[in-house]
Amino acid sequence: MSLIRPDERTPDRAADGRPVPGVPALELSGATLAYGSRVLWSDLDLTISAGQLVAVLGPNGSGKTSLMRVLLGLQPLTAGSAKIGGAPVRRGSTRVGYIPQKVSVESTTMVRARDVVRMGIDGHRWGLPLSFGPRWRRQRDRIDELLGAVGADAFADAPVSMLSGGELQRVRIAGALASDPALLLCDEPLAALDLRHQQEVAALIDERRQLSGTAVLFVTHDVNPVLEYVDQVLYLAGGRFRLGPPDEVLTSEVLTDLYGVPVEVLRAKGRVIVVSSSDLNASGHHHHEPNQHPPGRSS
């Protein structure tokens, strides 16, 4: 079931809420981002079609977070262009949904789960709808629909301070999907979750993108929880990048070239582990990170 309403069409969506064929969810063309003389990445061409999931990997400082800021309209490109749903990137665009890393919640807050989702629907407007008016009723039904879609209806009226990490991320996903975005940006949404909740949240994001056709750009240090859902990998390192299917990018040859040091990519039981050859030869241990710190358990 699509979560979009026919009266909220956008250029990238048809009347039934499905993405319009031929309109990319995200299109980066010749994108370059530099801070002074330091180039994070240059001449990046990336097209994400509706329903695709692209994982963004790389060490700290490689430009993953900066890419998110560009797509949220918070950071201009140094060169090139960025379009979401066929329109230039702009701050506050409803074409973009955003799931942040887990952030601390005040233990005394009385903000409810449904209030978080309401902000996803109405956050771009001043004020709240009058209680019991037509707009209020439509919004209430919409919130209930969104919370039900992510399995969060049971705790819709609970203060977010009382929710577990997995429950809170479900609520954030509902809020991020509230505007029926063409593109869902996920910034390390699994980082603070245990393995069970990582799997649940990853599966939920995959389910929603398949049902609604929303494209997903998923920044992570550990690709393993989402590896089975990934269509393409964008690997950033040392001012360079590689883009392609996981089996073509997550290889010893490619990562050795990116990092400029010998890197081994190990696969075991469907998981991917990256280590430097020197660490592997010295200790036989598979959880050390190479000298330039690629994500040791992720890619």
pLDDT tier for residue 13 given thresholds of 50, 70 and 90 = low
Lowest mean pLDDT among 9-23, 92-106, 242-256: 9-23
Both tokens of 91, joined, read: 């701050």
Which of 49, 52, 48, 51 has its CA nearest to residue 67?
48
In 3-state terms, the chain is what percent helix, strand and coil (to 5)?
35, 25, 40
Q: Which residue has the higher pLDDT, 219 or 140?
A: 219
pLDDT tier for residue 279 given thresholds of 50, 70 and 90 = low
Domain ranges of the chain: 109-178
Cβ 69 vs Cβ 40: under 8 Å: no
